[in-house]
Chain A
């Protein structure tokens, strides 16, 4: 099979040969194994010539060695030692992707005896873009408008709408989001009219005040205007937002025409000094309800200092807690506890003090608790006053400050496995480690992707009883919903993980059950 491989070119090959630099840290390993294949367009399968492809040892991902595909889109890395390697490819107007990439997961290529690594098909997706112009009343250009991009995606087995990027319009009022993967997006604009003025709140006494007051009444409030937060295709209601569905290579134009309203009629929950993250969280939360009919138009009067949406009356509960480490030790770095409402999905987080304590206020309700620390992982929650179950807690208001104990462990287990379809390894499968009592152990799930030899690793597994599932094309599954996983559990592999336990397992691949994926939205 003839293969043409272009080496790093830019006309400098000669120089590189004449002056071999001693600084090249590691010459390519001189084994007898190879990784080869073809880079193709994911949509039509056409070969992509002259495309940089890089490999790196899976354990040292920044040690890249890059070559170009030939005229036929093929590439070949030679003289490799046995082991696992990551592959990455890059091309203008395409996404830079790892091999068979799914979010944070991809398939590493295993080379060695009896492994096939020379006929890979590396599918690259064209990138998409959204651009547009922001105007006011159809004519005036709006500069410096903050345009925010949100993406709906399955993340950690759950459908969510997350902030992805923001841009400010330029002097021509245009913005441009590029290099977007195919998917479902929302575009939201937030900007104050450049000429908007707050009403003068004069505290002068005497004549000055008289004059100021007089002019406010006559026409001073004409410029006390605002634009509402505007959701594409041009609505101030998140419910009326329309997702922009981008296929690979799509070039979408989303124009906005804003209209200023008297500020009193526009609900603006965010002041100038609010961090972006709270604006993003607010918008994400509202977008989750897109497409619904709004129950009723709520009057949301603005008072200048309103900082939080006043949609609901919630009873907030102050709680205090402590983390307990097993075995006893100390958190080496900063740690955080996160309470995630099972009702609203909202997250409340707080730092863990050096003494292992935390305090925070959350609305009453049911919560999944998680702890984010360097080497310790949450096992369970305990409380003498609140109802707890696994890693969940029901927080109810009471006379005393409820106290919680979070039990964290460092003694985690590790599962190495292989995914098989009647004894043949399956590459690129989604691997999920499901806790026995999944509803109350959201933090104990682990996820992975099988490599080219079907192998995978689930690390940092909190001791307990689990089922391991391997699902082909399972990446869109909302597995955080226990109902979704139910049909798969019977075919999974049950495993008891002991503290510091190490396990080697074989897991049978399952096909995606289409019906089950319809759960949720």
Chain B
């Protein structure tokens, strides 16, 4: 069984229509619930015709599925000429979707309102579908012999809410000719890796007791052992690229050691993580009798991670970094429960208590309902393969603190959203670390002081104008506190204007973009490229300020 794919019908690439703009002057305006034209003849029916084409070639797409929903429900396949034709539609509003295996929805052109009026003025429409990308190639050894059953993985790089993240996009195993083929990829940036050790599972030479050779761990295209120094491949819609790997077998090293504090009755899992945090399946064997482990590992710089669950469901973990260039004996790993962080919220409100009753000067209280707090994992692979986000929950002991339980070691951004009207975040600290400036680093099995959040209500107000435009740019405005550069806020530009309230005092840079959708704006290095186009302003408590900024075009 070479390939295990899911039975789900592939690429339910729903597509919303792209209007022939000038035929539908209402596009982009706010539509009312009622048909625009009062129904003169309620029993009259209308037709809708159109064509489904490829966004890259403009060629018609035969046998594409076209579905109407809304005031009429129907579905048909396009003909050999890519055309479709619905009849007998009542006056009303419908949404048109199209899909076809091998194509994706044209999300960027999805109109905000997809409800299309059907009536006497309805004309032909054009729907575009974006063709998939394909990565194919082969994996061979240093002698040019194909490697069968190597696992080729495709990791997508995306930007979401200003932050770059990596996700497992797809994978395939090579066949006996060493070939692989991965389709159904959207246009974008990808990293491709291969792990050939899976090809050795039944290899008599590798399984021999005296064998000391295997393939390297994960190899990233073109020839790198860690994710972060891999060269991403950028695919345009419809592109098919060939990626070949040539792998050398190399000496494996023997590692062995002992676990302590393993919860009784639990079976530990061993993982080797490379510097990008990407996991490589390990062949490490564990002997429950004496809690020892041993295995053969290719050379490289790894984190050895051991996880185990106790009967009450707690996840225990141990991690150790090992740079393998020789045999390692007597490794000693101590399992600990994951870190549990408490969050204490303090308010320093100056105005009449609004939501908070009975607040007095002495009572600079702790209120667990003041904020939402979440940890966002920043290590590339923690971020993609586990939940990136962990929310703080009220403590079970009835105290006012919030709890972040089961926090694995790693780097996190601590995000805080005040819930109290008029409040802003004055500071977020963990011991001496200023979490507005720096990330939270959680050591394995370590203890950390509580996260302390201070809220105030004497923030500033900022209004502004974007030069030379009356347009709307949703989420185009970016306001970046210079005292918390990794915690910018986005806002909408409406009629060329914008406004923010409840801003902490301090220095800010303000950017007006046409779109922040694909922009890695939480990375100061990326944002730095636009610094000359930003406006600067310093806000003091309870102040009101005005600013004018230039529009920065990121799209054509």
Interface residues of A (CB under 8 A from B): 8, 10, 12, 15-16, 21, 23-26, 52-54, 62-66, 88-90, 92-93, 96, 140-141, 143-144, 146, 165-168, 170-172, 176, 178-179, 192, 194-195, 197, 200, 211-212, 214-215, 218-220, 222-223, 272
Interface status of B9 (Cβ within 8 A of chain A): yes
- In the complex, how many angstroms separate the beta carbon of A240 from the nearest chain B beta carbon? 26
Tell me which of B3, B90, B212 contacts A21 (CB under 8 A). Answer: B212
**Which residues of A lie under 8 Å from residue B175 when comparing CB positions?**
176, 178
Neighbour of B209 across the interface among A26, A140, A143, A179, CB < 8 A: A26
**B210 touching A220, Cβ below 8 Å:** no
Tell me, in angstroms, the Cα distance from A195 to B90 when the chains sit together: 25
Please provide the chain B residues from 126 to 185 with a CB less than 8 Å away from any CB of chain A in the complex: 132, 134, 145, 175-176, 181, 183-184
CA of A195 to CA of B10, assembled, Å: 10
Given contacts A23-B294, A215-B73, contact A12 B212 (CB under 8 A): yes
- When distances are taken between beta carbons in the complex, the residues of chain A under 8 Å from B208 are 8, 54, 64-66
Would you list which residues of chain B between 1 and 46 have a CB under 8 Å from chain A?
1-10
Q: Told that A52-B205, A167-B1 touch, could you supply 15 new A-B pairs with CB distance under 8 A? A: A10-B205, A12-B251, A16-B210, A23-B254, A23-B327, A66-B207, A141-B101, A143-B10, A144-B7, A170-B3, A171-B134, A171-B181, A215-B74, A218-B88, A223-B75
Given A26-B209, A90-B204, A140-B63, answer yes or no on A10-B75 (Cβ-Cβ < 8 Å): no
A173 nearest in chain B by CB position: B101
Residues in B whose Cβ lies below 8 Å from that of A146: 7
Known contacts: A171-B134, A171-B184. The answer to whether A90 contacts B73 by CB under 8 A is no
CB of B87 to closest CB in A, whole Å: 8
Q: Which residue of A lies closest to B181 (CB)?
A: A170
Distance, CA A8 to CA B102, complexed state (A): 46
Interface: B321 (CB within 8 A): no
What are 16 A-B contacts with C-beta separation under 8 Å?
A10-B249, A12-B249, A21-B254, A24-B210, A52-B204, A90-B204, A92-B145, A92-B176, A140-B63, A167-B3, A170-B183, A171-B101, A171-B132, A178-B176, A195-B77, A272-B7
When C-beta atoms are compared, the residue in chain A nearest to B68 turns out to be A215
Residues of chain B contacted by A26 (CB below 8 angstroms): 209
Query: Which residues of chain B come closer than 8 Å to A63, judged between CB atoms?
Result: 209
From known contacts A26-B209, A215-B73, A219-B76, infer whether A64 and B204 are also in contact, taking CB-CB under 8 Å.
yes
Chain B contacts for A90, CB-based, 8 A = 202-204
Could you tell me if B204 and A54 are in contact, using CB atoms closer than 8 angstroms? yes
Report the separation of the CA atoms of residues A197 and B294 in the bound assembly, to the nearest whole angstrom: 54
- Chain B nearest CB, measured from A222 CB (Å): 7
> B327 contacts which of A8, A21, A141, A214 (Cβ < 8 Å)?
A21
| Chain B contacts for A200, CB-based, 8 A | 73
The residue among A23, A93, A141, A218 with the most chain B CB atoms within 10 A of its own CB is A23
Q: Is the CB of A165 within 8 A of B1?
A: yes
Q: A54-B204, A66-B208, A194-B101 are in contact. Are A15 and B76 (CB under 8 A)?
A: no
Complex-state Cα separation, A179 to B304, whole angstroms: 35
Asked if A8 contacts B184 (CB within 8 A), the reply is no
Asked if B77 and A223 sit within 8 Å, CB to CB, the answer is yes
Residues of chain A within 8 A of B210, CB atoms compared: 8, 16, 24, 65
Smallest Cβ-Cβ distance to B294: which chain A residue = A23
Q: What are the residues of chain B within 8 A of A166 when measuring CB–CB?
A: 1
**Choice from A8, A168, A222 contacting B211 with Cβ under 8 Å:** A8
User: Would B72 and A215 count as touching, CB distance under 8 A?
Assistant: yes
Within 8 Å by CB of B75, from A21, A140, A141, A220, lies A220
What residues of A have a CB within 8 angstroms of the CB of B7 in the complex? 144, 146, 168, 272
Q: How far apart sit A193 and B217, CA to CA, in the bound complex (Å)?
A: 40
Q: Which of B10, B72, B134 contacts A194 (CB 8 A)?
A: B10
